[in-house]
Amino acid sequence: MTSSDRGPAAESGFVPRTRLEGTAGRTGTIHTPHGPIHTPAFIPVGTKATVKTVLPEQVAALGAQAVLANAYHLYLQPGPEIVDQAGGLARFMNWDGPTYTDSGGFQVMSLGAGFKKVISMDVTGQQDDTKIAEGKERLANVDDDGVTFKSHLDGSRHRFTPEVSMNIQHQLGADIIFAFDELTTLMNTRGYQESSLERTRQWAVRCLAEHNRLSQVRSHRPQQALWGVVQGAQYEDLRRKATRDLVELDRIDRESGGKGFGGYGIGGALEKANLGTIVGWVTDELPDAAPRHLLGISEPNDIFTAIENGADTFDCVSPTRVARNGAIYSFDGRYNITNAKYRNDFGPLDAELDNYSTQYTRAYLHHLFKAKEGLAATLATLHNLSFTVTLVDRARAAIEAGRYAEYRDEFLARYYAGSAAAG
């Protein structure tokens, strides 16, 4: 059975366009109250209502179509009521375009795992539900009703439930919001993954109910689309079950007069080697008219794999985070601008990429990092965002032109050969 045979199309505002032959990939458009998102698309992360070190206007100028902020961080500071009073996230941060907010589930999980910033994409060691980061304190505890956690800012205690997450995200006012879910790690046992999946399903039911209620109460605000989140780690049966469960919840909710899910997020820790397979399990079970967002990937080879397996949008902090440490993406590979060989290199960061940073040389950026000047992070961040957005934009254009495979193969061969040469 094909995805288009799985019942009525979701009222997601998504219109598929061009199919990538022989794969689940496609182009399309997500329509939001703040404008369209042409897919596939990379969504830069503005965790605290800002993409670190750069202006929103600069992010828009380099071609980014939307930004994603974090409900957990904005709940703690400045507080969702402040953002609501400002007129919502887009107006608060002076961003003239669509916005996403995640539910806070990732941050809650990372607190529970000892506040690790990145989830491993490889399984190493014995699976253990009690394992946390070495030398760290578990700051979050999950129960069937929600999560109690300590703020990483001041140690104060807080509680998130599905209803709390929905209220926070409605106050933040993003166009696309995500259901509150429990994010597991690859270290969790199969038994825990199963119980967590059922917990996340029950939370999704509560998120839908509260989203429907708030959409009526807050009808004076632009309507928001709630996306369900698929978990299940590396297990095919759990991923497929989780997806089917969410699609069924969407059907039941719509038949009872609710808004249903406007799309779906693919979450959780993924083994890098199985990324495409796992994404494919999920998209294979989803209605064709439902947009899919893959949470937290940005490596070039992972982006191509995600596109080919049906992901429409994806986000990651990596391009901006590594930029602040001097790592530069280029079509001839990734390199570190702080290396001595760039001290008197007066070429551009990437001769092929046209963005604001093009007018600055490698030697100048090397100097800024060595001098610990703030402009270093700004220019490197703008460049890396431009690179990642352009990479995905060109992939979208290649699908439309019928030359995607050639573009992918040429890009990857050149990029990874250059990265290897740069060491």
pLDDT at residue 109 greater than cutoff 80: no
Judge contact between 41 and 65, C-beta under 8 A. yes
Does residue 53 lie within any of the structural domains? no
Judge contact between 366 and 337, C-beta under 8 A. yes
Question: Can you tell me which residue has the tokens 């992901």?
Answer: 311
Residue 201, both tokens: 């399903």
Q: Are residues 333 and 301 in the same domain?
A: no
Give the domain range for residue 353: 327-422
Judge contact between 305 and 276, C-beta under 8 A. yes
Q: Are residues 83 and 199 in the same domain?
A: yes
Closest CA relative to residue 246, chosen from 263, 222, 225, 271:
263
Look at residue 309 in the predicted model and tell me its pLDDT: 98
Does residue 358 lie within any of the structural domains? yes
Please report how the helices 190-217 and 162-172 are oriented relative to each other, as an axis angle in degrees rounded to 10. 50
Q: What pLDDT, in 10s, does the model give residues 326-338? A: 999 999 999 999 9
Beta bridge partners of 44: 316
Residue 353, both tokens: 């990429």
Closest CA relative to residue 297, chosen from 281, 283, 278:
278
Of 29-33, 112-116, 155-159, 262-266, which range is least confident? 112-116
Greater pLDDT, 266 or 119: 266
Does residue 136 lie within any of the structural domains? yes
Mean pLDDT on 100-115: 68
Look at residue 116 in the predicted model and tell me its pLDDT: 46
Q: How far apart are CA 209 and CA 259, in angstroms?
A: 9
Pair type for strands 14-19 and 140-142:
unpaired
Q: Are residues 131 and 231 in the same domain?
A: yes
pLDDT at residue 410 greater than cutoff 90: yes
- Furthest C-alpha separation in the chain: 67
Does residue 400 lie within any of the structural domains? yes
Read off the CATH number of the domain in which 288 is found: 3.20.20.105
Q: Are residues 289 and 220 in the same domain?
A: yes
Residue 17, both tokens: 């366009």
Look at residue 36 in the predicted model and tell me its pLDDT: 97
pLDDT at residue 298 greater than cutoff 90: no
Does residue 383 lie within any of the structural domains? yes
Look at residue 353 in the predicted model and tell me its pLDDT: 94
Q: Are residues 201 and 236 in the same domain?
A: yes
Q: What pLDDT, in 10s, does the model give residues 354-366? A: 999 999 999 999 9
User: How close are the terminal C-alpha atoms of the chain, in Å?
Assistant: 47
Q: What pLDDT, in 10s, does the model give residues 188-225? A: 899 999 999 999 999 999 999 999 999 999 999 999 99
Domain end marker among 309, 340, 368: 309
Look at residue 117 in the predicted model and tell me its pLDDT: 43
H or E element in which residue 230 lies = strand 225-230
Q: Are residues 299 and 338 in the same domain?
A: no
Domain end marker among 279, 309, 339: 309
% of the chain surpassing 90 pLDDT = 80
Mean pLDDT on 163-168: 98
Mean pLDDT on 234-263: 97
Look at residue 139 in the predicted model and tell me its pLDDT: 77
Does residue 59 lie within any of the structural domains? no
Domain end marker among 249, 282, 309: 309
Question: Can you tell me which residue has the tokens 């939307």?
Answer: 66
Q: Distances in Å between the alpha carbon of 406 and those of 40, 195, 357, 412? A: 17, 44, 28, 10
Q: Are residues 337 and 194 in the same domain?
A: no
- For residue 336, give the 3-state DSSP assignment: strand
% of the chain surpassing 70 pLDDT = 89
Q: What pLDDT, in 10s, does the model give residues 375-391? A: 999 999 999 999 999 99
Pair type for strands 41-44 and 35-39:
unpaired
| Average per-residue pLDDT for the chain | 91
Judge contact between 369 and 326, C-beta under 8 A. yes
Judge contact between 188 and 123, C-beta under 8 A. no
Q: Distances in Å between the alpha carbon of 256 and those of 5, 229, 249, 253, 260? A: 21, 21, 11, 5, 10
- For residue 73, give the 3-state DSSP assignment: helix
Mean pLDDT on 252-269: 95
Instruction: Please indicate, yes or no, whether the overall pTM of this predicted structure exceeds 0.75.
Output: yes
- For residue 87, give the 3-state DSSP assignment: coil
* All residues at 6 or more sequence positions from 407 whose CB lies less than 8 Å from its CB, including other chains: 394, 395, 398
pLDDT at residue 1 greater than cutoff 60: no
pLDDT at residue 7 greater than cutoff 50: no
Q: What is the DSSP letter of 359?
A: G
Beta bridge partners of 70: 102
Q: Distances in Å between the alpha carbon of 52 and those of 173, 261, 362? A: 21, 30, 21
Q: Are residues 251 and 139 in the same domain?
A: yes
Q: How far apart are CA 17 and CA 352, in angstroms?
A: 29
Number of domains observed in the structure of the chain: 2
Q: Are residues 226 and 172 in the same domain?
A: yes
Does residue 184 lie within any of the structural domains? yes
Q: Are residues 267 and 346 in the same domain?
A: no
Mean pLDDT on 116-120: 45
| Residues known to be catalytic | 102, 315
Q: Are residues 164 and 273 in the same domain?
A: yes
Look at residue 271 in the predicted model and tell me its pLDDT: 84
Q: Are residues 206 and 354 in the same domain?
A: no
Mean pLDDT on 7-32: 83
Residue 354, both tokens: 């046209």
Look at residue 270 in the predicted model and tell me its pLDDT: 83
Does residue 315 lie within any of the structural domains? no
Report the alpha-carbon angle 273-277-283, nearest 5: 145
